[in-house]
């Protein structure tokens, strides 16, 4: 149990377009979801924290108008990269925790989405 999926796993887009990444908790209710960004050979950097039904809390330096996060249900959060540019190319990872798992305060991670902006 406690599986988190992400879709798509890989996406290539043109500069100026928007890309939506989905994060789903498959067998538990995710009251909180986190979005991370990982550059090659770098740490995972927390971008934002979202609680179901409320606005996301963004980390310092993360543009909330560029990285739109929606957590409209207990099983789905989306990250939309608006007007993407090559510097947005990265590996985006979501995680979630919530009720319905045996370790409710443990974060469960998705497999990540590789975004390449041409």
DSSP-derived letter for residue 70 is: E
Q: How near is the Cβ of 75 to another protein at its closest, in Å?
A: 16
Determine the interface stretch with another protein among 13-21, 63-71, 82-90, 103-111 (rule: CB under 8 A): 103-111
Residue 61: count other Cβ atoms within 10 Å of its Cβ: 7
Q: Is there binding between residue 46 and another protein (CB under 8 A)? A: yes
Q: Which is nearer to another protein, 16 or 111 (CB)?
A: 111
Interface with another protein (CB under 8 A): 4, 6, 32, 34, 41-44, 46, 49, 93, 95, 97, 105-112
């Amino acid at each position: 149990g406690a599986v988190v999926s992400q879709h798509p796993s890989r996406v290539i887009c043109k500069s100026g377009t928007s890309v939506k990444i989905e994060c789903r908790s498959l067998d538990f209710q995710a009251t909180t979801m986190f979005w991370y960004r990982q550059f090659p050979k770098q740490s995972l950097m927390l971008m934002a924290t979202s609680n179901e039904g409320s606005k996301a809390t963004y980390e310092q330096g993360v543009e909330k108008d560029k990285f739109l996060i929606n957590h409209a249900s207990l099983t789905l959060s989306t990250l939309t990269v608006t007007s993407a540019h090559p510097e947005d190319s990265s590996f985006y990872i979501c995680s979630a925790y919530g009720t319905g798992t045996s370790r409710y305060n443990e974060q469960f991670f998705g497999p990540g989405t590789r975004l390449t902006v041409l």
